[in-house]
Chain A
Amino acid sequence: MDGMAGTSSKLTWAVHISAVLLVALWLFPTVGLLVSSFRTADQISSSGWWASVFSSEQRTVIRTVDPDDFRIEENSAFAVTGDLFAADEEKEVIAWGTSSREVEAYAPGDLVDLGDGESITVDSEGTYSWKGNEEQLSGRGKRVFATVVSPPDFTTDNYERVLFSGDSTDGMAKTFFNTLTVTIPATIIPIVIAAFAAYALAWMQFPGRAILIASVVGLLVVPLQLALIPLLQFHNNIGIGKGYLGTWMAHTGFGLPLAVYLLRNYMVGLPRDIIENAKVDGATDFQIFTKIIIPLSFPAMASFAIFQFLWTWNDLLVARVFLIDATGETTVMTNQIVELLGTRGGNWEILATAAFVSIAVPLIVFFTMQRYLVRGLLAGSVK
């Protein structure tokens, strides 16, 4: 027994560790994308996203303002004061120097004598004060070598640009709604049709039922690429052409075999007694379907909805074939991202933001629906 207990606790550990690994594997790139989408192009190219969530230390060289323009005369001595940083920057100087050989020579607040009465001081907020005679304070501004700690710095500029700029090369807003227009009906229509079909295939007696079930299984393995061109021709012939209607129909058609198969298998597993009891209670087939089968099949429908939603959301192929025309009015997000890769190949911040916009909705869908995947709906019904 001891051995058994040992094995099972080891097993538990293995399960836990792999769960943690999987979570990390998923989380690392996702969080990376999210963080990157809030950074500027410079930040992305100078450091990894993981560095940006902590304060960073940097050495910089900053010139004071030009003494010829800004010096102030006081009792025949001159002074230049100012701030190393812009007003809204929350950086902190932890060391500074005046020559490239000793960049960390002084602490903030030190008053440094530069000889002949010339002096300079820099405090931790970056304000400096440089004093000397007329000759010393002339020409170019003085160079200050500062070691600066800057807090995490994020910007929403990328999102503003991608979502609200209305710019047709970078803008995702329109394509976002186009994708939604494709996805929502393309998810709902097949579920509705498949639910009816699955109930009939699972619980109603009619000739040819077995053949129908077999052909549904057969259709599962037919690659959709086979049907693309004939279907498009068909759409053109019946006058639908390229457009949302054709895309919905295509997605519905391609999604139906899996939907019918999944839902039928689930519905067949519902306890026969419950359905027969409903029959004795006086329910018609339609009432059994709406009042018993649909509520009990919710987990299966939710899991198919997640699949279908993700697949239509991320779809490029079907959209390219059936939807996107020369006007570009109906471009979907996936297509937009592909185009961005061409036009904005180096602009990681735009790409990251666009990518995150496109995965945000699937994430929300998944996290709101996933409880249906794990909830045991049948508990307490039989035995």
Chain B
Amino acid sequence: MADIKLTDVNKIYGGKVHVLKDINLDIEKGELIVFVGPSGCGKSTLLRMIAGLETITSGRLEIDHEHVNDVPPAQRGIAMVFQSYALYPHMTVRENMSFALKLAKKSPQEITESVDRAARILQLEPFLDRLPKALSGGQRQRVAIGRSIVRDPKVYLFDEPLSNLDAALRVATRIEIAQLKEQMPDSTMIYVTHDQVEAMTLADRIVVLTVGEGIGQVGNPLQLYERPENEFVAQFIGSPAMNLLPGKIIATGKQTTVRIAGGGVAVSDAPSKSSDENLKVNVGVRPEDFSETKGDYIFEGEVDIVEALGEVTQLYFKAQKGGDPIIGKLAGIHSGLRGETVRLTAEPNKVQVFHEGKSLYYR
């Protein structure tokens, strides 16, 4: 129920480890924001700074237009769900959920009401009198979420809440969280995850954090997928990662034409200026955007490995010197391609062009 504004926020540990650099972020009321990024990039740190558990080295954090840099966690109107659940082991589920309310001196009646309501939403009613050790992982996770719901906070913070659950439970809980969000359209949520599916399905907007370079890109999931601002985001979002092929611009204008080092030619919808000619660039194409062709091609190569997954077939081409192997993902079943030379092409609007890591779409 609040917007959060980060202005030039930095985090430096011990005077030398610069974990977060110049974070600028505007989160609107009612948004579900997902932080993604490689391990160690500072997602948890950023979340903990918003929670007030970590000091902000420099910069300004506002929640609800209030400057909260030095406000203790309890007064920021936030609730946090930890990756490890962090349930109080010596308290029953009910006590766990009512702990914060008791500290806030709510009346017993009020406490019972909100705990019961949260328990109903999360289907925890049968477990209210159990200790955490008598619950399954999924149930514990729901208690942790329930504990935050009862407080009716302005902002929910989730730090990889599903990472300890098995695949099936993860999907179920993810859907639960999505439903929860729908029931509380006004509450702002910030969600940290490693899981791209979680990020793509839950997020209103995704924040991609880089290692030590600040925010890579902020945008809605499809924007990040279709128009990544830079190579880092392009390769981070999507699996397998986007292919990058080095080349040189040979024609400019509304569309950009690039001659690829291996011999192919790529046409992209990214605009370019006439001064860009001969610019060294990387052409980015997602594996799933490649299609087989007999005519003009972007990439031609000998198939090294074929992975037939049924709905798609993944082709791995021999790596070019010093680069990652090129991967193509073709719909349907293609057998007998191993050892063959295959030509691949892609639609111009699916082709990215990066100069010095930055996309030409964003100039």
Contacts and interface: CB of A to CB of B under 8 A. Distances in A.
B164 A280 contact: no
Nearest to B95: A291
B89 A380 contact: yes
B79 A280 contact: yes
Given A283-B103, A296-B90, A380 B84 contact: no
A273 B147 CA distance: 14
Nearest to B51: A280
B13 interface: no
Q: Which 3 A-B pairs have the closest CB atoms?
A: A380-B133, A282-B74, A381-B89
29 contacts: A271-B84, A271-B86, A274-B86, A274-B87, A276-B53, A276-B73, A276-B82, A276-B86, A278-B88, A278-B99, A280-B51, A280-B53, A280-B73, A280-B80, A282-B74, A282-B100, A377-B89, A378-B89, A379-B89, A379-B132, A380-B87, A380-B131, A380-B132, A380-B135, A380-B140, A381-B88, A382-B86, A383-B84, A383-B164
A381 B78 contact: no
A281 interface: yes
A170 B82 CA distance: 63
Interface size class on chain A is: 20 to 34
A382 B84 CA distance: 5
Contacts of B73: 276, 279-280
B85 interface: yes
A136 interface: no
A204 to B, nearest CB: 14
Nearest to B99: A281
B104 interface: yes
A382 B85 contact: yes
Contact of B88 (A274, A276, A287): A274
A280 B151 CA distance: 11
A273 to B, nearest CB: 4
Given A280-B73, A280-B78, A282-B74, A381 B53 contact: no
A296 B86 CA distance: 13
Interface in B136-185: 137, 140, 147, 151, 164
Nearest to B87: A381
Given A273-B84, A279-B53, A282-B104, 20 more contacts: A273-B82, A273-B83, A274-B88, A274-B89, A276-B82, A276-B86, A277-B80, A280-B51, A280-B52, A281-B100, A282-B100, A282-B103, A283-B99, A283-B103, A377-B90, A381-B89, A381-B133, A382-B87, A383-B85, A383-B164
Interface residues of B, number: 33
B134 interface: yes
A82 interface: no
Contacts of A291: 99
Interface of A: 271, 273-274, 276-283, 287, 291-292, 295-296, 377-383
Contacts of B51: 280
A292 B95 CA distance: 12
Q: Which of A280, A378, A381 has the most CB of B within 10 A?
A: A280
B87 A280 contact: no
Contacts of A273: 82-86
A283 B151 CA distance: 13
B89 A280 contact: no
Nearest to A281: B100
A381 to B, nearest CB: 4
A380 B134 contact: yes
A260 B73 CA distance: 29
A88 B225 CA distance: 101
Nearest to B76: A280
Contacts of A277: 80, 82, 86, 88
Given A277-B82, A280-B80, A282-B100, A296 B89 contact: yes
